[in-house]
Every structure is written in C-alpha cells, then in structure tokens.
Amino acid sequence: MLLLAFDTATPAVTAAVHDGTAVLAELYEVDARRHGELLLPTVDEVLRRAGVDKRDLTDIAVGVGPGPYTGLRVGLVTAAALGHALGLPVHGVCTLDAIAHQARAEGLTGPFTVATDARRKEVYWASYDAEGRRTAGPDVHRPAELSPEVQAVGAGALLYPDSFPGATGPEHVSAGALADFVVTELAAGRELLPNRPLYLRRPDAQVPAGYKAVLPA
C-alpha cells in the first residue's frame, strides 16, 4: 500500500504518505485562509519527501469534516480529482475520528470528547469511549450545551476552557494520524466513509429569499 492522505477541514492544511506500516513523510501548516493555495503544493512536496511518484499510489484518504464549507470542499474536490485521474479509491474519514486516533496514539486514556472550532460560538464535536470508538456525534452545538465530564481535546475544546476544563491537544488534525487510522480500519475490514462532506449545517452564504424586480412586468 502507498496511501496519500490529506485534510482541510480545520485551519491546518496537512498531507502525509503512508506505506501501510508507517508514515513516510508528513507536512502540516496552519493557515485558515489559504487551503486552496496550499494544498496541492503540500501534496507535491510530501510525495517528493517520501520518494513516491503519484502514479505509484494505491489509495487516497481525505478528511470529510465536519468543517467550514470553503476549506472543506478544497480537500474533497482535490481527492475526487486525484482519484479520478489516477484511478484510485478515495476513502473518506470523519476528521474528528482522525483527531481521536491521534490523541490515543499520543497517550490519552479513558473516555473523551473531540471538539473543533465551528465558528458562530459553536463547536463540532464527537465523543469516544476508552477504546477510541465513537459513541456520539458528530454534531454541532454551543459549548455550554455540552460541558462534558470527560477529558476533551481539539481546538474547539481549547477555545472554550469554561466548558471544557483541562482540555489538551492535539489541536488540529494530523494527516499522518488520518493515514494511520485508514490503514488500521482497512486492515480490520471496516468500511470507511464516501468522499462526501459532513457540513452539519448550512453554509454562511445564503441565496436571497426574494429578488427585487429590476425591469417592469
């Protein structure tokens, strides 16, 4: 296996190459306004560092959110285009699941919640048991509506310490963790998600409810 993984569902633009055993190379940059500008150069560079030609890839994995509409669609469209051009399967991953996988790999124990910033004073969240299995979510709420009594990780949890006391990192998703999650799930024979976005709410931009007549009837 040679898996290319990337995610643009958080302010981080991150990409990694995994050979089925370990991460060969990974890049990570936080810039919430430059997903479209950064992703393809990041993919090219991570392939170069891994010493892998894109024509030798066997799989693509992409974070499908939840996340903001504009950033998220950059990753989804790129994954779809690469998968089509190279004839490769594209595996979708809930971004919160990848963060949870990373948190457990970094030593987190016991039940926990992952929360990322959803803006509008809300968080995208999901809860996990001590084995890292998702038990609730993904969903979007105001932090005060959650106030979990378990450990919390992620940028959303860190942003609202009153609702998530003692919150820790990882702050954003790592493509290396996302890739490792995919390898683990495929090895266990579990299905992943399609390459479709988990927006959880409507985009900020709305079509006007009515149009003012410009020309006479």
- How far apart (Å, rounded) are the C-alpha atoms in residues 180 and 194? 18
Its pTM stands at 0.91
Q: For the structural domain made of 3-95+174-187, what CATH number should be given?
A: 3.30.420.40
The arrangement of secondary structure in 96-159, i.e. its CATH architecture, is 2-Layer Sandwich (3.30)
pLDDT in tens, 150-184: 899 999 999 999 999 999 999 999 999 999 999 99
pLDDT in tens, 13-71: 999 999 999 999 999 999 988 999 999 999 999 999 999 999 999 999 999 999 988 89
Longest dimension (CA), the chain: 69
CATH topology of 3-95+174-187 equal to that of 96-159? yes
- How far apart (Å, rounded) are the C-alpha atoms in residues 23 and 47? 12
Domain ranges of the chain: 3-95+174-187, 96-159
Per the listing, tokens 């995994």 go with 18
